[in-house]
């Protein structure tokens, strides 16, 4: 009889021992331990070292991530014993503080206790730990980030009230041990934000755009050796296109291109005058410059592509195939200027990995 968890666990321990140069004796001992634990308790527990390796390998296996060169420097916070409201809150604040590091962003993951028998001891409802609210007004107009509309409504159903600006930071929403979800606000001085200014077009500054410094994805599941860590927020630093060419530009997000074009004095009448393309470039420039000026880590899409090429070389030296999701890896600005555009990648999802999971909002 096959036990799927047992198979996944063994396969992970093999990989762990191989990459960490752990000898056969120690490996056999650990495998026996894991087997016993699974057969008697139905599950097993990762050592902190396994957890760290697993999280790093999960990043390395993230097919959609162009930032994987640095997979081996991911900082782990092991928060599996944070079970109370206060402990969870502290672990999340600690993540934000440590990762932000006054702008010199550190790639970090905080791992909470895993799901057991379909029960999640800790659920984080936020898409990212720091994110702006989105409100639908009565006339249908949206203030803030349309991506956050349903989550914002959920926060409001819990009693939270935002100021109603374009950039209200949402509260953290957590559920413990199948209890009622609750929210708590982030201390404002914990959240680093960058005001967007353009090097030579001051009119763009009048739009008063800003964005938060650290993207901390908190709604994905981290799967390691068959164990589902459903609460495992992680962050790197931004590539400028994510903010400038998507969050600000997408029609279903902040939709700022017409305003930017207007501030640039471009006519938006003829598509063939490439006003959208020009507005995108200047937004990217402004975001890059503003983050740099503020001392906040950020990578431009050309440098990120080069770093990814280096990652590919290093992986080849290790005899590992780089899997990838081409449609996510190509930058959304001047994609053909990247070597990625001219290659193809196998989109196989290896384990460990970060995966989507159903929303916790009912």
65 is catalytic: yes
68 is catalytic: yes
Q: How far apart are CA 270 and CA 266, in angstroms?
A: 10
Q: How far apart are CA 164 and CA 169, in angstroms?
A: 10
Q: Near ligand HEM by CB under 6 A, which window of 64-72, 77-85, 157-165, 174-182? A: 64-72
CB-closest chain residue to ligand HEM: 236
Q: How far is CA 243 from CA 131, 154, 315, in A?
A: 12, 25, 29
Q: How far apart are CA 152 and CA 343, in angstroms?
A: 40
Whether cis (ω within 30° of 0) applies to the bond prior to 352 is yes
211 is catalytic: no
Contact at 8 Å (CB) between 9 and 47? Answer: no
Nearer to ligand HEM, 34 or 340 (CB): 340
Tell me how far, at minimum, the Cβ of 61 lies from a copy of itself, in Å. 21
Contact at 8 Å (CB) between 109 and 233? Answer: yes
Whether cis (ω within 30° of 0) applies to the bond prior to 10 is no
Q: Interface with a copy of itself includes 27 (CB under 8 A)?
A: no
Q: How many helices (H) and strands (E) does the chain have?
A: 11, 16
Q: What is the DSSP letter of 237?
A: -
Name every residue whose Cβ is closer than 8 Å to that of residue 255 and which is 6 or more positions away in sequence. Answer: 249
**Among 54, 178, 52, CA closest to 122:** 178
Which pair of tokens denotes residue 175?
């559920």
Site string for ligand HEM, 236-275 (x = CB under 6 A): xx-x--x---------------------------------
Q: Near a copy of itself by CB under 8 A, which window of 33-41, 70-78, 210-218, 299-307? A: 299-307
Contact partner, 348, from ligand HEM, a copy of itself, none, Cβ < 5-8 Å per class: none
Residue in 62, 110, 285, 334 binding ligand HEM, rule: CB under 6 A: 62
Contact at 8 Å (CB) between 38 and 9? Answer: yes
Residue in 107, 126, 128, 247 binding ligand HEM, rule: CB under 6 A: 107
Residue in 133, 194, 304, 333 binding ligand HEM, rule: CB under 6 A: 304
Q: Near ligand HEM by CB under 6 A, which window of 33-41, 57-65, 162-170, 315-323? A: 57-65
Considering only residues 281-300, where is the footprint of ligand HEM by CB under 6 A?
A: 299
Nearer to a copy of itself, 111 or 322 (CB): 322
Site string for a copy of itself, 342-361 (x = CB under 8 A): x-------------------
Q: Interface with ligand HEM includes 175 (CB under 6 A)?
A: no
Torsion of CA 143, 146, 148, 149, to 10 degrees: 70
32 is catalytic: no
Q: Near ligand HEM by CB under 6 A, which window of 13-21, 67-75, 157-165, 194-202? A: 67-75
Contact partner, 234, from ligand HEM, a copy of itself, none, Cβ < 5-8 Å per class: ligand HEM
Q: How far apart are CA 237 and CA 213, in angstroms?
A: 8
Based on the number of CB atoms within 10 Å of its own CB, is 251 exposed (0-12), middle (13-18) or buried (19 or more)?
A: exposed
Residue in 70, 160, 184, 341 binding ligand HEM, rule: CB under 6 A: 70
Packed helices 4-19 and 24-41: angle between N→C axes, nearest 10 degrees: 160
b/e per residue 109-133 (b: at least 16 CB within 10 A): bbbbbbbeeeebbbbbbbbbbbbbb
Considering only residues 223-282, where is the footprint of a copy of itself by CB under 8 A?
A: 245-246, 249-250, 252, 257, 271-274, 276-278, 280-281
Residues of the shown chain interacting with a copy of itself in the complex, contacts defined by CB under 8 A: 245-246, 249-250, 252, 257, 271-274, 276-278, 280-281, 284-285, 288, 292, 300, 302-303, 306, 326-327, 330, 332-337, 341-342
Which residues are annotated as catalytic?
Answer: 65, 68, 237, 242
Residues of the shown chain interacting with ligand HEM in the complex, contacts defined by CB under 6 A: 59, 62, 64-67, 70, 74, 107, 109, 234, 236-237, 239, 242, 299, 304, 328, 354
């Amino acid at each position: 009889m096959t036990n799927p968890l047992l198979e996944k666990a063994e396969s992970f321990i093999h990989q762990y021992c191989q990459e960490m140069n752990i000898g056969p004796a120690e490996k056999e001992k650990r495998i026996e331990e894991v087997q016993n634990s699974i057969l008697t308790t139905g599950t097993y527990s990762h050592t902190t070292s396994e957890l760290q390796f697993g999280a790093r390998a999960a990043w390395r296996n993230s097919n959609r991530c162009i930032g994987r060169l640095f997979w081996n420097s991911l900082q782990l916070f092991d928060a599996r014993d944070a079970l109370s409201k206060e402990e969870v809150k502290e672990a999340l604040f600690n993540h934000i503080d440590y990762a932000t590091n006054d702008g010199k962003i550190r790639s970090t993951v905080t791992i909470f206790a895993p799901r057991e028998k379909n029960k999640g001891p800790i659920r984080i409802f936020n898409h990212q730990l720091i994110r702006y609210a989105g409100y639908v007004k009565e006339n249908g107009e949206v203030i803030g980030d349309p991506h956050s509309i349903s989550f914002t409504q959920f926060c409001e159903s819990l009693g939270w009230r935002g100021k109603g600006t374009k950039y209200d930071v949402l509260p953290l929403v957590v559920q413990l041990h199948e209890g009622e979800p609750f929210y708590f606000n982030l201390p404002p001085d914990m959240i680093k934000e960058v005001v967007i200014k353009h090097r030579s077009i001051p009119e763009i500054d009048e739009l008063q755009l800003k964005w938060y410094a650290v993207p901390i994805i908190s709604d994905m599941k981290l799967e390691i050796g068959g164990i589902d860590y459903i609460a495992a927020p992680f962050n790197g630093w931004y590539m400028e296109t994510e903010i400038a060419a998507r969050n600000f530009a997408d029609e279903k997000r902040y939709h700022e291109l017409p305003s930017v074009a207007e501030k640039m004095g471009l006519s938006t009448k003829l598509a063939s005058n490439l006003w959208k393309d020009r507005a995108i470039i200047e937004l990217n420039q402004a975001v890059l410059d503003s983050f740099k000026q503020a001392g906040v880590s950020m990578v431009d899409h050309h440098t990120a592509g080069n770093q990814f090429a280096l990652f590919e070389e290093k992986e080849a030296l290790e005899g590992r195939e780089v899997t990838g999701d081409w449609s996510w890896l190509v930058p959304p600005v001047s994609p053909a200027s990247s070597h990625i555009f001219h290659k193809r990648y196998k989109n196989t999802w290896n384990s460990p990995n970060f995966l989507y999971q159903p929303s916790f909002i009912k």
